[in-house]
């Protein structure tokens, strides 16, 4: 989380050599047993029997990305809420590779999940790096880390693409420019939408799209100068955000360099 130089304190450290096995009968047996556990979890999840998944994991098992992790029990509660809202989740998990070391198995998996809500299916593909431990003759999930993930977008045929384009055209608000400084070109339709708002939320289809951020700049300019907005929040890296906040409040730093 450090931006630039930082001091780090380490309470203790140790090194241990652990033999690793990537193939052989022992690895094959572990792979087959762990695949059965994934099959068991997939079957339980597809049927909505979420609590059965907890029986496969250790009580203190955690999951998430490399920077944000939660107990698997909490993740299961989130799944239950999604199901209660009308979403149906189905998935299939495939073990890609297994490495044994010191009584633990590091497992690379590939998964496909489909979430259907309101009759509309959305398909996701991803990979995880999971850690399993052998307890009382059975493999139990200890940790699950997301490595990659993406939504699989189905290709549209020409007729469907035209219907989508027509729907967008019916709702779209035409703008002459996305550049900031063009307050006079804000359309009356957009102005009416903003008129009665105490807060405004801006989403984006893709993170690294220049025009989207230009438009955010332009909307922020309008909301501050014309509507008196004084608070701005954004999903961003914490250290850089602190530096930007310090510049806004005190004038310290170089905003161009930032």
Give pLDDT tens digits for 141-168.
999 999 988 888 877 789 888 998 999 9
Q: Which residues lie closer than 8 Å to 173 by C-beta, 6 or more apart? A: 187, 189, 190
pLDDT bracket for residue 188 (50, 70, 90): low
Residue 134 maps to a domain: yes
Please tell me the predicted confidence (pLDDT) of residue 247: 92
- 33 & 144 share domain: yes
Q: If you average pLDDT over residues 48-61, what whole number do you get?
A: 92
Q: If you average pLDDT over residues 27-51, what whole number do you get?
A: 94
CATH of the domain at 56: 3.10.450.50
Name which of 14-18, 50-54, 60-64, 195-199 the model is least confident about: 195-199
- 176 & 218 share domain: yes
Q: Of 94, 118, 152, which residue constitutes the final position of a domain?
A: 152
Residue 257 maps to a domain: no
Neighbours of 39 (CB within 10 A): 14
Strand order in the sheet with 57-64: 20-21, 88-101, 104-117, 120-135, 138-152, 57-64, 69-71
Question: Average pLDDT of the chain?
Answer: 86
- 142 & 245 share domain: no
| Residue scoring higher pLDDT (215 or 167) | 167
pLDDT at 183 over 60: no
Neighbours of 71 (CB within 10 A): 15
Q: Of 126, 152, 178, which residue constitutes the final position of a domain?
A: 152
pLDDT bracket for residue 195 (50, 70, 90): low
- 107 & 202 share domain: no
Residue 92 maps to a domain: yes
Please tell me the predicted confidence (pLDDT) of residue 140: 96
- 24 & 148 share domain: yes
Percent of the chain with pLDDT over 70: 90
Name which of 35-49, 116-130, 168-182 the model is least confident about: 168-182
- 105 & 209 share domain: no
pLDDT tens column, 64-116: 987 788 999 999 999 999 899 999 999 999 999 999 998 899 999 999 999 99
Q: Which long-range contacts (CB under 8 A, 24 or more apart) does 197-204 make?
A: 197/227, 200/229
- 148 & 173 share domain: no
C-alpha gyration radius of the chain: 25
Give CA separation, 242 vs 31, 249, 252, in Å.
Answer: 46, 11, 12
Residue 256 maps to a domain: no
> Residue 122, exposed/middle/buried by CB under 10 A (0-12, 13-18, 19+)?
middle
Q: Whole-structure pTM over 0.75, yes or no? A: no
Residue 215 maps to a domain: yes
- 186 & 99 share domain: no
Residue 4 maps to a domain: no
- 135 & 179 share domain: no
- 74 & 173 share domain: no
Residue 61 maps to a domain: yes
Q: If you average pLDDT over residues 10-37, what whole number do you get?
A: 91
- 172 & 147 share domain: no
Tally the domains of the chain: 2
Residue 217 maps to a domain: yes
| Residue scoring higher pLDDT (180 or 239) | 239
pLDDT bracket for residue 127 (50, 70, 90): very high
pLDDT at 191 over 70: no
pLDDT bracket for residue 223 (50, 70, 90): confident
- 143 & 62 share domain: yes
pLDDT bracket for residue 190 (50, 70, 90): low
Q: Of 102, 118, 152, which residue constitutes the final position of a domain?
A: 152
Find residue 122's DSSP bridge partners: 115
**Which residue segment(s) compose the domain that 222 sits in?**
168-250
| Residue scoring higher pLDDT (199 or 194) | 199
Q: If you average pLDDT over residues 242-248, what whole number do you get?
A: 89
């Amino acid at each position: 989380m450090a931006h630039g130089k930082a001091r780090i304190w380490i309470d203790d450290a140790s090194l241990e050599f652990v033999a690793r096995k990537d193939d052989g009968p022992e690895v094959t047996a572990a792979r087959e047993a762990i695949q059965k556990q994934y099959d068991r979890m997939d079957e339980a999840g597809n049927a909505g029997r979420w609590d059965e998944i907890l029986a496969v994991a250790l009580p203190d098992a955690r999951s998430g990305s490399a920077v944000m992790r939660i107990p698997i029990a909490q993740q299961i509660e989130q799944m239950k809420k999604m199901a209660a809202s009308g979403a149906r989740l189905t998935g299939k998990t495939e073990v890609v590779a297994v490495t044994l070391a010191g009584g633990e198995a590091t497992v690379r998996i590939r998964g496909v999940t489909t979430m259907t809500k309101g009759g509309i299916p959305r398909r996701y593909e991803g990979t995880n790096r999971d850690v399993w431990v052998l307890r009382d003759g059975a493999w139990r999930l200890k940790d699950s880390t997301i490595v990659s993930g993406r939504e699989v977008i189905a290709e549209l045929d020409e007729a469907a693409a035209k219907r989508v384009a027509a729907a967008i055209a019916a709702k779209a608000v035409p703008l002459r420019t996305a550049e900031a400084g063009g307050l006079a070109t804000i359309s009356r339709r957009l102005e009416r939408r903003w008129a009665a708002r105490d807060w405004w939320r801006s989403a984006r289809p893709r993170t690294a799209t220049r025009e989207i951020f230009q438009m955010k700049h332009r909307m922020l300019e309008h909301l501050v100068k014309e509507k008196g907005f004084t608070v701005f929040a954004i999903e961003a890296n914490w250290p850089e955000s602190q530096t930007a906040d310090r510049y806004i409040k005190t004038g310290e730093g170089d905003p161009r360099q930032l």
